[in-house]
Structure 1
Amino acid sequence: GEYDSEQITAEMTYSVTAVSKPVVEEVEDSNNNNGEFKCMECNRTYKDAGNLKNHQFVHRNDFKMWTRKVHEGDTNIFLASNGWLNRLTKRSDFKSKIMYGEKGSADEPAAQAFVKAFYQTLLTDFKHLSYGKVLEIVMNFDEFGWIIKILPKRSYLHSDTPVKAKKPTKARVTVLIGCSAAGLKFKPLVIGKSIRPLCFRSMNMADLPVHYYHQDSAWMSSELFTDYFNEEIVPTIKKNFPQQRVIVTMDNATCHPPTLNDIDDLIDVQFLPPNTTSLIQPCDQQVIFSLKSRVRNVYFTKLLTYVRTHPEADNPYQDF
């Protein structure tokens, strides 16, 4: 018989819009105000299924439970097995996708408005420059947190080997990177908790390939960012683009003070609108991900080399 649509709406957390042809098609009816759908698998029609359109998620168990319920009372028992669901999703071109992320909650209208205004600024104020030169004078900076000394979550072991899982390390640093659209790279900034980490005890801190700062929480602050702006960003820009106006973009975090625009008249600092970095923050578009991947590969290579060359160590991972 017909399954109660209100009960479906209360129990299911899936979207009928996700169940597209040839599995489900909307019945063509000018008076179809309730959203009537027809299942192409079993040639059944389900009324009021349109009430589920606003839901965002469909879990495989929910889908199987729903199909079992609509087949209640059939002569042949319908199991809705995993094999049936796998074949159904394959031939209907369904994909299991991650539904959580920053982009889904971003402010798209604000991002579009900023991009439009930014593009207009380039056309108006830099029309005398070539396309390649414009790429050189547009720069972006972004911070990210980094869990250091992190180990892989999985490893290959013999099936009889017992596993004693340990808590992951919580040691972290904050890293700030910056670059231009043409590829000019600024010396990164790293913020840790220690004034002088043990790994740098025999080194001259001025020789490091990064600017190292320390803070109790290892977080970025407006004071640290302003100091880095004066010590790294301004000198690098003046060296590469003397007497040339440049645009520096960054998010509107509280650690990025508006007073940055007062430091130099030729450096125009533009802050991205709130909740738009996942859409239009250049360094968020694979730049940070690529950096993490490269450094992580180097770290693991050196770590494994240390483990192999120090078989007598009780805890080589910690010693390293």
Structure 2
Amino acid sequence: HKEVEDTLHMWFKSARNNIRLSGPIFAAKAEKLAADLGNENFTIERFKKRWNVVSKSVCGGSGTVDSTVADDSITSKLPALLKDYEPKNIYNTDGTGLFYKLLPNKTVAIKGENCHGRKHSKERITIMVAANLDSSDKLKLLVIGKSQKSRCFKNVKSLPVDYKANTQAWVTSDIFSEWVKKFDRKMECQKRKVLLFIDNCPAHPTIATLMATTVIVLPPNSTSKLQPVDQGVIKSFKQNYRCLLLKHIIACFELREDAEINLLQGIGFAHHSWRKVTMRCISSCFASAGFCIRETNEETENFLYLVESWKIIQVNMALSSDLTAEDYIDMDKNVVNSAQLMEAEIIAAIKAQDSISGDMESESDEDYEPEEPKLSSVAEATHFLEVLNQFINAESEVSDTIYNNIAELSDYILLCKAD
């Protein structure tokens, strides 16, 4: 009965955040899922014992919260919530969908579309960003894709991000819980007590036994005003990402190469884009959400480059003049990155798990990449670094930081050679 139990458990975790699960409702759903999976002899008591499911009385009521009331409520509570915490100990996190490989000529097809990730799933990943109020700590990105062992990951032993995978490329309750617990352990090791603000969504369950972290759940329908990273941090990240992708596309035009990127390149672009989100931008977005005194946010340099690059792209790809750089930045603004799963999606996910975990080298047709990336040798890496040195030496007014970073790269390559 393991398949039925796993399916019922996934549905249970997804549904309990949105509806009250009474005994009869739970039993009826178990019976239906068992029938769908061809196991009509399934009994619910064994499931309850295995997963420690018990019935409890519900005090009070829940329902749709008026967004205005929610805004007023959290605004009036914020000073009391924040008063015992230093700015460095106040964090916010949220996820966003990203069409990491979609070229500008496909943007018009999805402009303004509320995408649930099926039609364009080949190009979509989910990115989870997190930072603190004084912007001194931008946490490592969490990237969720569809392939656990994509072809482009061959010979890859480390990534600049944390990477997870599931069939929908969504933030699930398990993934989010694991992330929060890891974050809590880090804060505990640093002997800190922190606040973590999150939105109200089915993939964000209540997590017990946190030692250093107090989780504050924002009211429903309020995140567009009250969630700091939604005030411009995510948009800045995506602006940086599109800028890097356009630079890549323009370089491919000049070299007459295919501009399509793979998942590994997308992860690299995402890491680079997150590094380029400035402290000023993060602080300004916390201020916009009412967390501190407002600062001005002057994130204009990359957008100006985007606009200029867009003109080149429009000519080379024969894009419509109605399609703007702003459209390209916002093309995945409405992508769903977590949700309560439907029955068919749960059953499909459970059935797919065996193939994902059982055959780690296999991959779906959607994630097919025609050529496996070649693993560079130490000698080749040294040669490429020399080429990079020559390029930089031909430029004027190069900062010491650039030369120091190249020296660090050279030392790292020498260490690899010694090993």
**In percent, how many aligned pairs have the same letter?**
27
Q: Give the corresponding residue for 2:78.
A: 118
Contact 2:184–2:212 (CA under 8 A) maintained in structure 1 = no
Q: Extract unaligned runs of 5+ from structure 1.
A: 1-104, 156-166
Q: Extract unaligned runs of 5+ from structure 2.
A: 1-64, 108-118, 263-419
Structure 2 CA distance for aligned equivalents of residues 176 and 201 of structure 1: 24
TM-superposed CA distance for 1:168, in Å, is 7.5
Equivalenced residues, count: 186
Quick one: structure 1 residues 144 and 121, their matched pair in 2 at CA, closer, same or farther if it must change by over 3 Å?
same
TM-superposed CA distance for 1:153, in Å, is 4.2
Q: Give the corresponding residue for 1:135.
A: 87
Q: Give the corresponding residue for 2:259.
A: 317
Q: Does 1:236 align with 2:193?
A: no
Indicate the SS of the match to 2:94.
strand
Structure with bigger helix share is 2
TM-superposed CA distance for 1:200, in Å, is 2.3
TM-superposed CA distance for 1:234, in Å, is 2.0
Q: Which amino acid aligns with 2:209?
A: I
TM-superposed CA distance for 1:193, in Å, is 0.4
Structure 2 CA distance for aligned equivalents of residues 319 and 253 of structure 1: 31
Structure 2 CA distance for aligned equivalents of residues 293 and 190 of structure 1: 17
Contact 2:146–2:165 (CA under 8 A) maintained in structure 1 = yes
The ranges of structure 1 where at least 4 consecutive aligned residues each deviate by more than 6 angstroms after the TM superposition are none
Q: Give the corresponding residue for 1:250.
A: 198
Structure with bigger strand share is 1
Contact 2:96–2:128 (CA under 8 A) maintained in structure 1 = yes
Q: Does 1:272 align with 2:227?
A: no
Structure 2 CA distance for aligned equivalents of residues 191 and 253 of structure 1: 17
Q: Which amino acid aligns with 1:185?
A: K
- Match of residue 300, structure 1, among 246, 251, 257: 246
Q: Does 1:217 align with 2:168?
A: yes
Contact 2:187–2:212 (CA under 8 A) maintained in structure 1 = no
Moved more, 107-116 or 139-148: 107-116
TM-superposed CA distance for 1:106, in Å, is 7.7
Q: Which amino acid aligns with 2:204?
A: H
- Match of residue 237, structure 2, among 287, 291, 303: 291
TM-superposed CA distance for 1:202, in Å, is 2.7
Quick one: structure 1 residues 264 and 299, their matched pair in 2 at CA, closer, same or farther if it must change by over 3 Å?
same
TM-superposed CA distance for 1:278, in Å, is 0.1
Quick one: structure 1 residues 138 and 212, their matched pair in 2 at CA, closer, same or farther if it must change by over 3 Å?
same
Higher RCO (CA < 8 A, seq sep 6+): 2
Output one character per residue of 1:26-52: Cα deviation in whole Å (capped at 9) or x when no partner.
xxxxxxxxxxxxxxxxxxxxxxxxxxx
Structure 1 CA distance for aligned equivalents of residues 240 and 261 of structure 2: 22
Moved more, 274-283 or 299-308: 299-308
Structure 1 CA distance for aligned equivalents of residues 131 and 225 of structure 2: 18
TM-score, normalization by structure 1: 0.53
Q: Which amino acid aligns with 1:117?
A: K
Structure 2 CA distance for aligned equivalents of residues 305 and 169 of structure 1: 26
TM-superposed CA distance for 1:303, in Å, is 2.8
TM-score, normalization by structure 2: 0.41
- Match of residue 172, structure 1, among 120, 124, 140: 124
Contact 2:188–2:212 (CA under 8 A) maintained in structure 1 = no
Output one character per residue of 1:257-312: Cα deviation in whole Å (capped at 9) or x when no partner.
112xx232331001000000001000001000000111221122123223422x3x
Structure 1 CA distance for aligned equivalents of residues 141 and 194 of structure 2: 19
Contact 2:185–2:212 (CA under 8 A) maintained in structure 1 = no
